[in-house]
Structure 1
């Protein structure tokens, strides 16, 4: 991380060379080709990997438990005159599926396994964000991404070893995922100009919806064709492949980044220097407890994520068991809300920055309005789905 004298020296260079408008004009020509937008895209890929690892068990668990349907039923409606190559392919798929065991897990056990990801992550966000702010998000987020991705590869082995080991693995994986999801926000303290903060964070955050969409869309097909273990092997491997991309290209501070242009560096540092105050490293616990706005944010996020994680975890099981859909159709139906959410997240960030830059609404008004609309709309749609 950069020190205070480095930042002051950079700001001093800006003052001697010219004003902020020159840096803004030079940087605005780059648009989405800037290094800070490249950082947002890399974080989008990391969030994509983390959310595929969060939801892979949700789409795989209908295939992991014993099914009372006859084994030949899924292929009964798809009988065709088979050629030699098609017959060989069918035999290969049967061999893959034969290697995927099924377990006698009751609905209660399935609920514990699905929720175990959140056991260790309940109190982890506060220390994860605090540690990332002190030691740098590059290593905290990178370590969390690697641990979560590496453990994903061993979920099939843990399931074979027993429920207890699977739960412990998922708890550790949940802590590692929190390191990624909370630690990344400290990056934008040094990288995001105030008028671009919404669009940069939403571009990065859209990876969560994109990951949920892809894992549901492809996960059901993988379970139905080559077997549920490959859901964990493929998406865990994608996360491991992101780690070599993360460590060489991500820096905690634009001042120390080797590939950033001088104009973009001046623009970011000077725009952040104009803020009222810089964040400190002390944690005002007493003031946090007495803060009514903080409690309002906590209640809002609790209500929002209660619905989100309930839908994320149990929708594939509900569609598969209650609606009697096969794994492929269950994944497709479960994925549809998330592709719309991915688009709306990016558009919402662009709209928020537009309203702020044109001074149409104040920042606090934009945040309150967008949060209220999103929470109310989400709750309304969820209640409708329960009645139907």
Structure 2
């Protein structure tokens, strides 16, 4: 049976845990803007070359000499970076994230998530500030910086779930994590919406300067306000601390225990979560990476309009993340089984965007229908945040951060494969290529949902329960 705390006492939105969710929302906002900033700046970093020097980037080698060849838009440098070079730069941050997702999640469970997350955010912010300077020194240095930045962000992403395992009462997990997680969607909206304007008005380096500086400010706020658990926070009220501690009494954990790797490998509910992440990130990565290109080529709009239109789906995604969390906790408060809620939102988050994706190739003649479907895909996809994405907090709260690292690793692998497959398919034939991309994405989503429906659970697994220590 799914266990629920007997009371919702102390669940006011004015409580400290909701303040923590807002700060984490700001942190996620900062990290995604730093991650996507290069995608926006790249247009100005290489387009000036094509406009002013007549160089066809596709004819360049992979690692060409990228010293600035022209001063464009108030003395800003532009580079001869081929599409292959750009793709290598874009993918480097994903490789960095993969390298640290699992070890950082494990270390966060031992040494505390506050230091891991705060350090990761600080390193990512500083590297963002130095990216324009690195570009002048060469493409290799940019790739190195992006890889290290990915490692730092991998530390920051996974540390969050260690914090929520100690701060979020079971009936408020969906709500709190959705508030925090919606920062990523909102950050994607902001950077896509204003990045082009900043580049046009001030020059592309200011995209990195502005969002890198915002990250440094966020770090100061993080190290000042955030604590690993409510017991040691100096500003929390006695009522709220008792409410959180009592609601998590049956999920207390001992960070000194070793991780039961063999039990995890044999755990089918965990594999259901991993496959869910793989399916979810497959389509999400395609939308995040190729949305501006798809809008520009299908709707035939200019770069600025393409950026604005590309930002709209992510404000919908941010709204759906928060609303989904509210609805999930409401259904739980009405005594709906926890696993039923998780599977319901997983179904909505995988089936609805699949239907929209399959319909896209058939409505390209309609501007309005295309925009609506493109907005609905990221929005409905984020309903998964109240499904399998936080399911690790249900089945193994003691190892939530470690398992979230593995889960995101599956998602990043899916993103790398889907991005490569998309580029290959649309290079063969643009129209049929995009149709095949969306059909393949829908198939991956459906298969992932079927697997989760069969093997997904919401009970704490036996190997994740606290037991008295009888030996060293």
Tell me the TM-score normalised to structure 2 length.
0.68
Counting only pairs closer than 5 Å after superposition, residues 354-369 of structure 1 correspond to structure 2 as: 354-359=330-335, 361-369=336-344
How far 1:44 moved relative to its partner?
A: 0.4
How far 1:261 moved relative to its partner?
A: 0.7
The answer to whether the aligner puts 1:225 opposite 2:201 as a matched pair is: yes
The answer to whether the aligner puts 1:212 opposite 2:193 as a matched pair is: no
Provide the rounded CA distance (Å) in 2 between the counterparts of 1:53 and 1:106: 22
Q: Which runs of 5+ in 2 are unaligned?
A: 53-70, 365-472
Runs of 4+ more than 3 Å apart: 66-71, 276-281, 317-327, 382-388
The answer to whether the aligner puts 1:373 opposite 2:348 as a matched pair is: yes
Distance 1:259 1:105, change over 3 A: same
- Higher deviation after alignment, 52-61 or 37-46: 52-61
The answer to whether the aligner puts 1:236 opposite 2:219 as a matched pair is: no
Q: Does the Cα contact within 8 Å between 1:62 and 1:320 map onto a contact in 2?
A: no
How far 1:118 moved relative to its partner?
A: 0.4
Q: CA RMSD in A?
A: 2.2
Instruction: Tell me which residue corresponds to 1:332.
Output: 308
Counting only pairs closer than 5 Å after superposition, residues 335-346 of structure 1 correspond to structure 2 as: 335-346=311-322
Instruction: Tell me which residue corresponds to 2:290.
Output: 314
Counting only pairs closer than 5 Å after superposition, residues 214-293 of structure 1 correspond to structure 2 as: 214-273=190-249, 275=250, 278=253, 281-293=257-269
How far 1:61 moved relative to its partner?
A: 1.2
Tell me the TM-score normalised to structure 1 length.
0.82
Provide the rounded CA distance (Å) in 2 between the counterparts of 1:69 and 1:163: 18
Provide the rounded CA distance (Å) in 1 between the counterparts of 2:114 and 2:200: 38
Distance 1:50 1:370, change over 3 A: same
Counting only pairs closer than 5 Å after superposition, residues 136-155 of structure 1 correspond to structure 2 as: 136-155=112-131
How many residues are paired up?
340
Provide the rounded CA distance (Å) in 1 between the counterparts of 2:45 and 2:302: 14
Provide the rounded CA distance (Å) in 1 between the counterparts of 2:159 and 2:146: 19
Provide the rounded CA distance (Å) in 2 between the counterparts of 1:327 and 1:227: 15
Q: Which has the larger radius of gyration?
A: 1
Instruction: Tell me which residue corresponds to 2:43.
Output: 62
Counting only pairs closer than 5 Å after superposition, residues 3-152 of structure 1 correspond to structure 2 as: 24-25=8-9, 27-28=10-11, 31-67=12-48, 97-152=73-128
Provide the rounded CA distance (Å) in 1 between the counterparts of 2:89 and 2:99: 19
Provide the rounded CA distance (Å) in 1 between the counterparts of 2:208 and 2:40: 11
How far 1:199 moved relative to its partner?
A: 0.3
Q: Which has the higher contact order (CA 8 A, sep 6+)?
A: 1
Distance 1:143 1:386, change over 3 A: farther
Q: Which runs of 5+ in 1 are unaligned?
A: 1-18, 72-94
